[in-house]
A and B are shown apart, each in its own frame.
Chain A
Amino acid sequence: MTLTEKILARAAGKARVAAGDNIWVNADVLMTHDVCGPGTIGVFHREFGRQAKVWDPSRVVIIPDHYIFTADSKSNRNVDILREFVREQQIPYFYDVIDDPNGSWKFDPSQGLLNRQYGSQYAGVCHTALPQKGHTRPGEILFGTDSHTCMAGAFNQFATGIGNTDAGFVMGTGKLLIKVPETMRFRLEGKLQPGVMAKDIILHIIGEIGFDGATYRAMQFDGSGVSTLSMDDRMTIANMAIEAGGKNGIFPFDARTAEYVESRTRLNGTKSTYEPVEVDADQTTIGEWVIDLDRLEPVVACHPDPGNRKQAKELGHVKLDRAYIGSCTGGKTSDFVEFARVIRGRRVVIDTFGVPATPEIVHDLRRTRWGGRTVWDILLDAGVQMTENAGCAACLGGPVDTFGRMNTPMKCISATNRNFPGRMGHKESQVFLASPATVAASALAGKIADPREYLSN
């Protein structure tokens, strides 16, 4: 069996499953956020009754992160709906925006968008917060009401996005009927060259197989090259399985996975036992793609879809209005560090926005020093507008007052993961997806640029 089949078989209590089987599986964790949580709770109440209890409060993780730093009253209300549900159900893992469990959330626009407006429990973007807070474990099944839930596949688990109705079902029963996906195998070999990042690997793969090339399928990333990739790198790759239509992305388990998971579960006091899965020699896949990491170059997924891949060095004619670094896939500490490596000592020539995915990343960037300056200050020196209000921000547009949102038609290069029309705001705007290094180089040039030009000197 493949990694995905092994996890699904275990969760279904079966010795074997095969692609195409429809099976009921037990969920280990259900995650929801402020955009889909209120609707999921609505479905749960409608179907199981107003007095119903969730199947296991310690397995429901609720992370407000999408529409937080906005004056939109419905968005603020949605965080309050989550808080009320958490109180009524006694859910221990709720990463609230405010500290008062009986309070209500109201964003204060008069304080501006840059300065921190959250309390001590707020965790930021759900997919980045889940591992940081010790909720990702090898061999487990994670369902989340968000398509990028597949990011947790980096930790050798089955993780996939579901809708509110399915999530309401899981909330009440702890189970879900799913179809075992076929597995596509991506064998990563070698090592990335300087200036080339994990984002380039996944944009390259999506470019190869197409925006719907993995529809209904599992994307398994293995091969000797995996050991050269950090957990952040693996998260970037697994995160974007959905951009090829994949049901999940999954990595093998190794010492790095163990180290990350063990330190995070210990730090947060979450469940620390787990059972990883290994690749079988006789696994059945529907194809194997070998990716030679040494030969990859910086790439860009051009407007209007994530499969529209071109070489960064060939796009120098594309003039830009804006650059953006942030999101679950591109707003991690290592992303900002690589961004800073390119931008350090220079100035951006277009509006450039930086949104760390989580408060912990804000803290890291403010603490990590490089030649006497913190990474945060290096970015500010270069003219990047950095906000402390970690979250999804303009990655998905959001309410009109969202930090970095494109409210007029413009061209933006972004370290995020999705570029369909209107994704970051205005529906006539254009988004170009690239690695943090390529975004940095392009912010310096005012047009799409290859980051290697800025690393050699």
Chain B
Amino acid sequence: MDSKFTGRVYVVRDNIDTDQIIPAQFLNLVPTIDEEYEKLGSYAMYGLPDSLYPVRFIADGAMDTEYSILLAGRNFGCGSSREHAPIALGAAQTQCVVAEGFARIFFRNCVATGEVYPVECLNRLCDIFSTGDIATVDIDQNTITHVASGKVYDLKPLGEVRPVVDAGGIFAYARQTGMIPKAV
């Protein structure tokens, strides 16, 4: 994954749980089956109530999102342990989720799968950015820039999970560090 990217932002609030990221009725899809992986992507964020989120993350009939950066408040990804959640986001071509806070299993699943970067921000960016704004995220410099205003906000370093993310997930990391044999 590139560590610096620019794209459109989609803004959500606190407590977006895994049912809103990928509703339970789509969990009959198995992420390791290619066409079902793609299908999961087309349902990313489908569970957001229309009354609160009239602009949809995935346009009707589209397979991918126009928003490569998802910006959230506290406790993003709470709820179930379903890996379908980061996978749906990744399959929809989301590159990273920037949130004030993540639920543990979601964060872990992002790292383990390498589907999307989970990055914590220090400010309440969901009050500052609006859906459709253009932003640049720089994982090495730990910043997010609001392109129109030029304002730069700090992100928390990925820290101890960075090596796992950089390796490309838990399997690649375990092979690199000798926990499991290199070739199978």
Contacts of A396 in B (CB 8 A): 19, 24, 80
| Binding stretch for chain B, among A41-49, A110-118, A358-366, A435-443 | A41-49
Q: Which of A39, A49, A144, A215 has a CB less than 8 Å from the CB of B30?
A: A39
Q: Which of A45, A172, A179, A399 has a CB less than 8 Å from the CB of B180?
A: A172
Interface contact B47-A305, CB-CB below 8 Å: no
Among B86, B101, B104, B171, max chain A CB count under 10 A is at B104
Knowing A24-B179, A215-B104, the reply to whether A161 touches B31 (Cβ < 8 A) is: no
Q: Which of B17, B83, B180 has a CB less than 8 Å from the CB of A39?
A: B83
Number of interface residues of B (CB under 8 A): 47
Is B61 on the interface with A (CB-CB < 8 A)? no
Task: Give min CB distance, B42 to chain A, whole Å.
Answer: 15
Is B150 on the interface with A (CB-CB < 8 A)? no
Considering the complex, which residues of chain A in the window 189-220 have a beta carbon less than 8 Å from any beta carbon of chain B? Answer: 211-212, 215-216
Interface contact A75-B81, CB-CB below 8 Å: no
| Binding stretch for chain A, among B63-71, B108-116, B121-129 | B108-116
Interface contact B112-A47, CB-CB below 8 Å: no
Knowing A39-B32, A163-B112, A428-B49, the reply to whether A399 touches B25 (Cβ < 8 A) is: yes
Interface contact A422-B103, CB-CB below 8 Å: no
Is B29 on the interface with A (CB-CB < 8 A)? yes
Interface contact A42-B28, CB-CB below 8 Å: no
Is B160 on the interface with A (CB-CB < 8 A)? yes
Contacts of B30 in A (CB 8 A): 38-39, 42, 74, 78, 81
Task: Give min CB distance, A301 to chain B, whole Å.
Answer: 12
Is B152 on the interface with A (CB-CB < 8 A)? no
Is B78 on the interface with A (CB-CB < 8 A)? yes
Which residue of the partner chain B has the closest CB to A49?
A: B184
Is A175 on the interface with B (CB-CB < 8 A)? yes
Contacts of B184 in A (CB 8 A): 47-49, 52
Interface contact A35-B82, CB-CB below 8 Å: yes
Task: Give min CB distance, A241 to chain B, whole Å.
Answer: 11
The interface residues of chain B, by DSSP majority, are classed as loop
Q: Which of A145, A161, A165 has a CB less than 8 Å from the CB of B112?
A: A165
Contacts of B179 in A (CB 8 A): 24, 173, 175, 177
Is A304 on the interface with B (CB-CB < 8 A)? yes
Number of interface residues of A (CB under 8 A): 60
Knowing A47-B171, A47-B184, A305-B15, the reply to whether A42 touches B31 (Cβ < 8 A) is: yes
Considering the complex, which residues of chain A in the window 45-95 have a beta carbon less than 8 Å from any beta carbon of chain B? Answer: 45-49, 52, 66-67, 72, 74-75, 78, 81
Considering the complex, which residues of chain B in the window 49-83 have a beta carbon less than 8 Å from any beta carbon of chain A? Answer: 49-51, 74-75, 78-83
Which residue of the partner chain A has the closest CB to B74?
A: A212
CA distance A43 to B31 in the complex (A): 9
Is B119 on the interface with A (CB-CB < 8 A)? no
Interface contact A399-B104, CB-CB below 8 Å: no
Considering the complex, which residues of chain A in the window 284-333 have a beta carbon less than 8 Å from any beta carbon of chain B? Answer: 304-305
Interface contact B28-A399, CB-CB below 8 Å: yes
CA distance A165 to B81 in the complex (A): 11
CA distance A427 to B180 in the complex (A): 43
Knowing A22-B160, A422-B47, the reply to whether A74 touches B28 (Cβ < 8 A) is: yes
Task: Give min CB distance, A424 to chain B, whole Å.
Answer: 9
The list of the 9 closest CB pairs from A to B, nearest first, reads: A42-B32, A163-B83, A161-B81, A163-B109, A420-B17, A74-B28, A147-B81, A165-B112, A212-B75
What are 5 of the A-B contact pairs (CB < 8 Å)? A36-B82, A43-B32, A49-B184, A164-B83, A428-B51
Chain B interface residues toward A at CB < 8 A: 15, 17, 19-20, 23-25, 27-33, 47-51, 74-75, 78-84, 86, 101-105, 108-109, 112-113, 160, 169-171, 173-174, 179-180, 184
